[in-house]
A and B are shown apart, each in its own frame.
Chain A
Amino acid sequence: MRVSKMNTRIAVAMKSIVLAGICSLWAVEPVLAQEPQPRIIPAGYRVETIPIPEGVQFGVAGLDVVANGDVYAGTRYGEVWRYRSGQWSLFADGLHEVTGVTVDEKSGGVFVMQKPELTKLIDDDGDGQADDYQCVSADFGFSGNYHEFAFGPVRDKAGNLYCTLNLSHGKGPSIKGGIMSVGERFRGTCFRVTPNGKFDIFAWGMRSPAGLGIDPRTDDIFYTDNQGDYNASSSLQHVVKGSFHGHPGSFLHKPDYKGKDINAISDDDFLRMRQPIAAWIPHGEIANSPGNPVFDLTGGKFGPFEGQIYIGDQGRSNVFRVALEKVGGVYQGCVINCIDHLQSGAIRLAFAPDGSMWVGQTSRGWGSAGGVPYGVQRIVYDGKTVPFEIHSVKITTDGFDVTMTRPIKRDAIDPGNFQVQHWGYMYHAKYGSPKVSPTQVKPTSAVVSEDGTTVRLKLGKLVAGRVYQLTINGIMGEDGALPTTRNAYYTVSVLK
């Protein structure tokens, strides 16, 4: 056996030559004191820009942070970089556009989603470079069309992997005059791969499911879709087995629709099948091209919004919050702008064990706010400041409870501090939808709770299937602090 007789002297000698070229580990670098901050950012939060390797197209579209603090960034040019102790090193390359990275903490394998395949990267000799590029699943169709992105994976407690597939653009037939097309099988779906490698379709009806996330406490899967055909605006949706998310395209490959004429099914019938929207993300007001939802389970290390969802936007380069509740068994809630804006399209978010939030960025050639083509930033909370902001909004039988992060200065609260507007959206093959019959409502009363944090707004009968925009004016904290954002958009899918 040659290996055991192998000259360990060679190995040691070679490694010492190589190691002589590797610098010693540095501590994480200090914050640049004068780094410019976004115009809108809650008190106590700060944005740091992480230096990226020179001469590398670092358009991040996949991001994960591991328990030991290592950051894995997957780029649009098929590379996976690892960040450790202030230094980037190339972990893998030659992949076909990495749009998702998830590390399996137990085995150390790195799952990456690339256009043709869900792949597991394994570094078995611990040299920081992947040696094995294992095909986990290629059971979905991929024509090569530039718009046939694949996203994910997210992992549930049982070890199943979930990924989503973008519809095509120009390849294959379109449905009912919509722009997006369906060439290959299973485009527009969420697929699942079991730990044994079995492949099946988990959910249908997606269009551009660019952001996939999971609540690790409950295994609830959420995804964001983008405004377009059959998508009035971008949205956050809850995915369950067999759910239909609005776009009929994927039904071209649905086994129980084989032979049926999809174009003959009415939009009303499709709408009846559609999973209730958890939160509409109003186009042009909150986001235009949202990325993956992440849950703040940092136990307070990232501030007072524990349990809420954060999503970054690729077009407006901002990060916004989603506060969800369950009403009649259905997830719904409000979206609130949070950090606006970063240096580049904030398409990927990932929490680190230290409670900071990493942001992987790319403008993707489409042009994003901020002007920088790509990069990596990190959002840090100082651990103590309680900013004065809208914490969350909950629906009541005749209005809403608006909760702030800390007590409100009571003196001047009256219904006039609150403006409420609501509207509907159309469901059709046309690209997006304008607001349908936008209506102003004047709250009849605004009562502050005992502890001073919540205002109960009475509006009268609410209408299901509408987005309610609540704007606060002149609401300030006991210390006189004003909130940095004043709008919360609540999606009423189900009445209380």
Chain B
Amino acid sequence: MLRDRIAVTLTLCLLCILQVPRQLDAADAAAGRAIFIRKSCVACHAVGQGRRTLGPDLSKLEKKLTRADLLEAMMDPDKKIRKGYESFVVLTDAGKVYSGRIVEKTDDAITLITTNEKGVQEIVIKQDDIDVMKQSTTSLMPRGLLKGLADSDIEDLLAYLNSLPDTKPFPANVLTRVAKAGGATVNRRVKFEPMASVASRTVFPQVDAEIELTTVPMQMRYDNTVFQVRPGSRVRLTLRNSDEMHHNLVVCKPGKLTWLDVAKAAWALGPDGPKMGFVPDSDLVVAATRQVPLGQQDTIDFAVPDVEGSYPFVCTLPGHAFLMRGEIIVSNSRHAIEDIHYSYYEGDWQKLPDFDAIKAKRSGRVESKLISIKNRDRDDRFAFLFEAKLQTAVDGEYTFFVTSDDGSHITINGKTVVDNDGVHGEGEPVSGKVQLTKGSHKLRIAMFELSGGEALHAAWSGPGLKVQPITEGTPASRFQQVQQFALEVGDTARVVRVNMPDATSRAIAVGLPGEMNYCFDAQTCEVKYAWTGAFLDVGPDRGFGRGRGGAVCKVLGKRFNVGANGFPLRFGNSDTPPEVRFMGYRRNPAGPVFTYRAGSAIIRQSVSAAVTATGLIYTFRIDDSVQQAVRFQLKPDGLKLSSSAGTWDGGTLTVPAAESKSFTVNVELPQ
């Protein structure tokens, strides 16, 4: 008896440490199902519903996979690729690249199941449109999907896989959502070791253009794919590799698919490939780096001919070329802002005036290449309007940045690109993106000043154009690191403390993987509300273009009520809310576990998304000196309420003492 007690106590202690509330015996297949959804396995694998998708139906495998097989398949999917589930890369005549599984093949067309930013899709491609079709040596299943899962999570997942088939329906939106590739957000490298020099590889004492690019881990691409240089330039190119696989970069002569010809020639080197760095002896090759290992960089100098054209570059390691390529545009077209005119106004405004309705005090040409607000007669109550011709050298997406005191506004061809209006200090940079064709465009920059400090700093960037100041006295570094204020959630939960709407100053916003988010208030220790969809715009708290910050953040996505009505727990017979004291939280990839004291009890609470409807599941673990009956209460408001223990009366759940150590509460919206 004592031995059992010790075993139970020890296990409970371990569970306390693990912060995982679950039954003591088997791993939890139900929890495994939630992970199967959260990690988007369900998007590519049917489990008995007869769906056709990228991967096999896991309930219909010829032989049941052993535990070792399952683990190997999840950790190293490339090792054994099932027949019929090979990955193909298809290049169409139009130059589009698809990667996926062939599910149907006729003389006229093939049907390919593929994934893109919209999720899992079936695409029909006419045989006549196919240029090249090649089978890939890698699996359609990405590597690294187990990253971020605790050992217990993996056990639960295996338990779920062992329990198949599963015919319970899944929410429609998870069936096509695809897991994002594991990011390299931790351990960012800032320095790459240069590869040891074999012979002098940087030959020019001076160069005209420098190109630098880095490989993106686990995504088979370069981080920058378009560069522009003048004809006849001496170019110094540096390739940095931050991916586990080796990569190189080979610059090819202009031509329709010269990159593919060079790549094919490289693959045809066969066993000689590695020692030649996968660079074939071809006159289509203009220049090539060595194969660069992880964490290193290689630099080469080469001269670009005096002829305009697009020089594709590509990684020629086998199979990489379809995704890993870009182009160097050799062109005299430049990016420039010219023909600048200014108009100077005086007046009292709280926002940008309608310039068509007021008369300028003075106007004229701006002789320099950069604009400035220094040509003013006073430091308060004035405005400027600048109009110029914006020249772009190449089609693409361009970004404009501005900080100003007070408000400002940038339009291109009459369309607003950046709106930084209002009375405010400079604050953090505001930016906006716009698609522009190669050629000439109308640029308009307006600013106004009410009183106090005055400033205007603007810059732009685009394909082949590094951040370029538009205003005088603006270092490019001011805009080089523009923060992403709309926070996104990948497959690890995000926890952010900021100013939240409808909560105290001690609110904590949590974004769970799978587009479920909620606001926990550490002052009152309750979940205040939740929302589905995208996470949070923290710009207002961080001073996004509006001065000093400290304003309330914006919930992105659709908010829903969870019936919050103050601290929800009551103990024993007491109706008065206990004194609550927040103690902290523990980070887990699936979501944080909050710890707080309420009266004499210590409570650990985690929150997860309800699986079959929109809602939340609260898991409570309550440790008290004497275990009491616990009541959980909220405003029912038409919500669908259920729990793992106790009885409901309207919006109040009463859990008897014997079951109050650990229980879950489901708060869901009616279907």
Give me the interface of A with B, judged by CB distance under 8 Å: 1-3, 6-7, 9-11, 13-14, 17-18, 20-24, 26, 29, 51-58, 76-78, 86-90, 93-96, 114-117, 119-120, 128-135, 138, 142-147, 365, 367, 371-373
CA distance A29 to B187 in the complex (A): 17
Contact B427 A365 (CB under 8 A): yes
Among B154, B189, B585, the most chain A Cβ lie within 10 Å of the Cβ of B189
CA distance A51 to B190 in the complex (A): 7
Q: Which single member of A10, A53, A87, A133 contacts B586 (CB below 8 Å)?
A: A133
Contact A7 to B481, CB < 8 A, known contacts A13-B75, A89-B188, A135-B583 = no
Instruction: State the Cβ distance, B45 to closest chain A Cβ, in Å.
Output: 20
- What B residues does A7 contact at CB under 8 A? 71, 151
Can you give 7 A-B contacts (C-beta < 8 A)? A6-B155, A14-B75, A57-B481, A94-B495, A96-B497, A133-B587, A365-B543
CA distance A339 to B583 in the complex (A): 43
Contact A365 to B426, CB < 8 A, known contacts A29-B191, A116-B505 = yes
Instruction: State the Cβ distance, A75 to closest chain B Cβ, in Å.
Output: 11
Q: Which single member of A11, A78, A142 contacts B506 (CB below 8 Å)?
A: A142
Contact B584 A132 (CB under 8 A): yes
Q: Which single member of A10, A20, A58, A373 contacts B478 (CB below 8 Å)?
A: A373
Contact A14 to B11, CB < 8 A, known contacts A23-B295, A88-B188, A371-B477 = no
Q: Which single member of A13, A52, A115, A117 contacts B190 (CB below 8 Å)?
A: A52
**Sample of 18 more A-B contacts, CB < 8 Å, known A51-B190, A147-B550, A373-B478:** A3-B14, A6-B155, A18-B147, A22-B187, A23-B295, A26-B191, A54-B481, A88-B188, A88-B190, A96-B497, A130-B587, A132-B586, A133-B495, A133-B586, A144-B552, A147-B548, A371-B478, A372-B477
Main SS class of interface, B: loop
Which residue of chain B has the shortest Cβ distance to A18 in the bound complex? B147
Contact B190 A53 (CB under 8 A): yes
CA distance A199 to B27 in the complex (A): 43
- What B residues does A146 contact at CB under 8 A? 543, 548-551
- What A residues does B583 contact at CB under 8 A? 134-135
Contact A144 B550 (CB under 8 A): yes
Which residue of chain A has the shortest Cβ distance to B547 in the bound complex? A365
Does B651 count as interface, using CB distance less than 8 angstroms? no
- What A residues does B498 contact at CB under 8 A? 78, 96
Q: Which single member of B71, B151, B188 contacts A53 (CB below 8 Å)?
A: B188
Which residue of chain B has the shortest Cβ distance to A24 in the bound complex? B295
Contact B497 A135 (CB under 8 A): no
Contact A1 B10 (CB under 8 A): yes
Per the 8 Å Cβ criterion, residues 121-156 of B in contact with A are 143-144, 146-147, 151-152, 154-155
Instruction: State the Cβ distance, A186 to closest chain B Cβ, in Å.
Output: 14
Contact A365 to B428, CB < 8 A, known contacts A6-B151, A10-B151, A54-B190 = yes
CA distance A373 to B475 in the complex (A): 10
Contact A20 to B244, CB < 8 A, known contacts A6-B151, A87-B187, A142-B506 = yes
Q: Which single member of B27, B522, B543 contacts A135 (CB below 8 Å)?
A: B522
CA distance A229 to B586 in the complex (A): 41
CA distance A75 to B69 in the complex (A): 45
Per the 8 Å Cβ criterion, residues 474-504 of B in contact with A are 475, 477-478, 481, 483, 494-499
Instruction: State the Cβ distance, A91 to closest chain B Cβ, in Å.
Output: 9
Which residue of chain A has the shortest Cβ distance to B549 in the bound complex? A146
Report, nearest first, the 7 A-B pairs whose CB atoms are least far apart: A146-B550, A23-B295, A144-B505, A134-B584, A96-B497, A53-B188, A51-B190
Q: Which single member of A1, A2, A88 contacts B155 (CB below 8 Å)?
A: A2
- What A residues does B319 contact at CB under 8 A? none
Does B358 count as interface, using CB distance less than 8 angstroms? no
Does B186 count as interface, using CB distance less than 8 angstroms? yes
Instruction: State the Cβ distance, B152 to closest chain A Cβ, in Å.
Output: 6
Contact A142 to B505, CB < 8 A, known contacts A23-B189, A88-B190 = yes
- What B residues does A10 contact at CB under 8 A? 71, 151, 154
- What B residues does A116 contact at CB under 8 A? 497, 505-506, 522
Does B566 count as interface, using CB distance less than 8 angstroms? no
Contact B477 A90 (CB under 8 A): no
Which residue of chain B has the shortest Cβ distance to A91 in the bound complex? B186
- What A residues does B481 contact at CB under 8 A? 54-58, 373
Instruction: State the Cβ distance, A57 to closest chain B Cβ, in Å.
Output: 5
CA distance A126 to B586 in the complex (A): 15
CA distance A441 to B191 in the complex (A): 56
Q: Which single member of B428, B496, B584 contacts A119 (CB below 8 Å)?
A: B584
Q: Which single member of A23, A77, A94 contacts B494 (CB below 8 Å)?
A: A94
Among A9, A17, A90, A93, the most chain B Cβ lie within 10 Å of the Cβ of A17
- What B residues does A26 contact at CB under 8 A? 191, 193
- What A residues does B75 contact at CB under 8 A? 13-14, 17
Instruction: State the Cβ distance, B490 to closest chain A Cβ, in Å.
Output: 13
Does B582 count as interface, using CB distance less than 8 angstroms? yes
CA distance A86 to B184 in the complex (A): 18
- What A residues does B10 contact at CB under 8 A? 1
Instruction: State the Cβ distance, A214 to closest chain B Cβ, in Å.
Output: 25
CA distance A93 to B582 in the complex (A): 19
Instruction: State the Cβ distance, B461 to closest chain A Cβ, in Å.
Output: 14
Does B639 count as interface, using CB distance less than 8 angstroms? no
Does B568 count as interface, using CB distance less than 8 angstroms? no
Among A128, A131, A365, the most chain B Cβ lie within 10 Å of the Cβ of A365
CA distance A120 to B595 in the complex (A): 14
CA distance A147 to B543 in the complex (A): 12
Does B353 count as interface, using CB distance less than 8 angstroms? no
CA distance A56 to B269 in the complex (A): 42
Instruction: State the Cβ distance, B270 to closest chain A Cβ, in Å.
Output: 26
Contact A138 B244 (CB under 8 A): no
CA distance A76 to B550 in the complex (A): 12
Contact A57 B483 (CB under 8 A): yes
Contact A89 B187 (CB under 8 A): yes
Contact B496 A94 (CB under 8 A): yes
Which residue of chain A has the shortest Cβ distance to B484 in the bound complex? A55
Contact B477 A95 (CB under 8 A): no
Instruction: State the Cβ distance, B528 to closest chain A Cβ, in Å.
Output: 15
Q: Which single member of B294, B505, B548 contacts A365 (CB below 8 Å)?
A: B548
CA distance A130 to B584 in the complex (A): 12
CA distance A147 to B547 in the complex (A): 12
Instruction: State the Cβ distance, A377 to closest chain B Cβ, in Å.
Output: 14
Contact A89 B496 (CB under 8 A): no
CA distance A147 to B549 in the complex (A): 9
Does B425 count as interface, using CB distance less than 8 angstroms? yes
- What B residues does A2 contact at CB under 8 A? 27, 152, 155
Q: Which single member of A1, A21, A24 contacts B217 (CB below 8 Å)?
A: A21
Q: Which single member of B294, B483, B497 contacts A23 (CB below 8 Å)?
A: B294
CA distance A21 to B218 in the complex (A): 10
Per the 8 Å Cβ criterion, residues 67-87 of B in contact with A are 71, 75
Q: Which single member of B18, B184, B548, B584 contacts A3 (CB below 8 Å)?
A: B18
- What B residues does A77 contact at CB under 8 A? 483, 542
Contact B188 A133 (CB under 8 A): no
CA distance A21 to B364 in the complex (A): 58
Does B185 count as interface, using CB distance less than 8 angstroms? yes
Contact A138 B506 (CB under 8 A): yes
Contact A371 to B475, CB < 8 A, known contacts A3-B151, A22-B187, A87-B190 = yes
Instruction: State the Cβ distance, B365 to closest chain A Cβ, in Å.
Output: 29
Instruction: State the Cβ distance, B28 to closest chain A Cβ, in Å.
Output: 10
CA distance A18 to B217 in the complex (A): 12
CA distance A89 to B187 in the complex (A): 4
Contact B151 A90 (CB under 8 A): no
CA distance A3 to B27 in the complex (A): 11
Instruction: State the Cβ distance, A77 to closest chain B Cβ, in Å.
Output: 6
Per the 8 Å Cβ criterion, residues 519-576 of B in contact with A are 522-523, 542-543, 547-552
Contact A131 to B586, CB < 8 A, known contacts A23-B189, A88-B188, A95-B497 = yes
Contact B14 A1 (CB under 8 A): yes
Instruction: State the Cβ distance, B343 to closest chain A Cβ, in Å.
Output: 27
Among B190, B426, B477, B585, the most chain A Cβ lie within 10 Å of the Cβ of B190
Instruction: State the Cβ distance, B469 to closest chain A Cβ, in Å.
Output: 12
